[in-house]
Amino acid sequence: MNLIQHFINGKVVGGSSRKTSKVFNPATGEQSSEVNLASKADVDLAVQKAKEAFTDWCRKPPAQRARIIFKFKELIEKNSDDITKLIVSEHGKIYEDARGSLIRGLEVVEFACGIPHLLKGEFTENVGTDVDSWSVRQPLGVCAGITPFNFPAMVPMWMFPIAMACGNTFVLKPSEKDPSCSIKLAQLFKEAGLPDGVFNVINGDKEAVDALLTNKDISAISFVGSTPIAKYIYENAAKNEKRVQALGGAKNHCVVMPDCDLEQAVNGLMGAAYGSAGERCMAQSVAVAVGKIGDSLVNKLAKKVESLKIGPGLDKNSEMGPLVTKEHLEKVKSYVDLGVQEGAKLVVDGRNTKPHGYEKGFYIGGCLFDNVEKKMRIYKEEIFGPVLSIVRVKDFESALDLVNEHEFGNGTSIYTRDGDVGRTFANKIKIGMVGINIPIPVPVAYHSFGGWKRSLFGDQHMHGPEGIRFYTKLKTITSKWPSGLRSNPEFVMPTMK
């Protein structure tokens, strides 16, 4: 059985714990590997090595750090097929989608290559007579990332390239469901010339996470995952005096206006609801049909959902792969059962889908519910599977209220041809990322990613300018040289007279 270990101080190591967890190939349902789960001692060792590496790494000129990151970028490009196959083999999503997610991560690496420019501070000459003032951003120390299963390459890559470009060292704790990708990325970074200890990967479960949260040598924690765990991370990281950003779950609404290009909206929704089998934090899981568009929207969607091609991620014909684990499949199916019990109309039922030859894989077909209501649990809770709920509302204002009243605030979009409606929506909606005729408005690497409400605990979004701010602290220096204007002792606040 393949054993997935940790990556500490430039080496793959087994760690001291005997605890392991199973990793599956979701396409076949077979176990593919065993992953070591770190003990507190393993985590502490990784943090210690990262702390030692920080001393030299933070002193390296940003341009030298950028050169290593640039080499890492080249190695990812060279190895993109292998990394993509690793994602498919442990997550299950289709090859081209996995490749796309790797490229979105790579774009953050490209952004981080510009670190000499991004770390430039601000300077003011003569804030007082012969007095100058400037500000610089300095690294924090050892930073940690805790990431979810659904983007085993992209989400970690939202974090560590920027953290390390800023001069920090990093300990990553990826999801134990698909851990191989992170180890591969660490090996490529070493090949790119990264000094040992700057980037470490610890595989593990709650025990490893708790060890990170309580380790006094960790300055900042970045988390992406479900809302209950995000809240736990936020509270405990703060309690242990760490900087923290904790991104949580979502229930993204797509508002479909009666004046929209329906074909465009339906195609957008198909990709956004069923792409990656709905296991995306930016998946559209609710379509809000406004006014008379409801019937035609449901009819057009139903035909396309019924004809979705479901199969293994490496089969070029597949449009949707399996879910990540058997437990997750059972959970998603139980939500579909619940929707039926709650009185929603199940227009397309994918519960019995079993691709030929892959009967043991973790598959479910696309599911479509109509007449979903606000009080239903299938509306309120994140299902994280290929289940789209249609809620019908009478007008634009009702759609706006519906989206704003939901506890999550990650992403949303609107389909309309009316610029006025689009602008009002963007202005009034209480959501972090908004699309106008764009189904999944994920910001590019040089903007920042993050939600509102219970989709993000903390102040800073991820990557882009917010990433630079999160991974650095500001220092402002005010100076005067002895040759400047002499002054007598002053006992009052100096002001500009």
Q: Which residues bind ligand NAD (CB under 6 A)?
A: 146-151, 155, 173, 175-176, 205-206, 209, 224-226, 229, 247-250, 281, 382, 384, 410, 451, 455
Give the orientation angle of helix 206-214 with respect to helix 40-57, to 10 degrees.
Answer: 50
Q: What's the CA gap between 177 and 166, in Å, rounded?
A: 29
Q: Quick one: 97 or 382, whose CB is closer to ligand NAD? A: 382
Q: Name the strands in the sheet holding 252-256, side by side, starting at the edge strand that comes first in the sequence.
A: 345-348, 367-370, 387-393, 284-290, 252-256, 411-415, 433-436
Strands (E), 115-242: 122-128, 131-139, 142-146, 169-173, 199-201, 218-224
252 pairs with which residues across the strands?
A: 284
Q: Is 281 a catalytic residue?
A: yes
Q: Quick one: 52 or 205, whose CB is closer to ligand NAD? A: 205
What is the smallest separation between the CB atom of 249 and ligand NAD, expressed in angstroms?
Answer: 3
What is the smallest separation between the CB atom of 105 and ligand NAD, expressed in angstroms?
Answer: 12
Choice among 143, 181, 281, 367 that is catalytic: 281
Q: Quick one: 53 or 281, whose CB is closer to ligand NAD? A: 281
Q: Quick one: 225 or 464, whose CB is closer to ligand NAD? A: 225
Q: Quick one: 147 or 412, whose CB is closer to ligand NAD? A: 147
Q: Quick one: 85 or 331, whose CB is closer to ligand NAD? A: 331
247 pairs with which residues across the strands?
A: 224, 456
117-123, Cβ contacts within 8 angstroms, sequence gap of 24 or more: 118/165, 118/468, 119/62, 119/166, 119/468, 119/472
Minimal CB distance to ligand NAD: which residue? 225
What is the smallest separation between the CB atom of 246 and ligand NAD, expressed in angstroms?
Answer: 9
Residue 140 DSSP symbol = -
Residue 291 DSSP symbol = G
What is the smallest separation between the CB atom of 359 and ligand NAD, expressed in angstroms?
Answer: 25
Largest interatomic CA distance in the chain: 89
Q: Quick one: 111 or 234, whose CB is closer to ligand NAD? A: 234
What is the smallest separation between the CB atom of 452 and ligand NAD, expressed in angstroms?
Answer: 11
What is the smallest separation between the CB atom of 210 and ligand NAD, expressed in angstroms?
Answer: 7
- Read off the tokens for 359: 């009967």
Query: Residue 67: is it exposed, middle or buried by C-beta count within 10 angstroms (0-12/13-18/19+)?
Result: middle
What is the smallest separation between the CB atom of 157 and ligand NAD, expressed in angstroms?
Answer: 12
The amino acid present at 128, given as its one-letter code, is G
Kindly calculate the radius of gyration of the chain based on its CA atoms and give it in whole angstroms.
25
Quote helix, strand, coil % in the chain, to nearest 5. 40, 25, 35
* Alpha-carbon distances, residue 264 vs 255, 391, 426 (angstroms): 13, 19, 19
Give catalytic residues, as residue numbers.
281
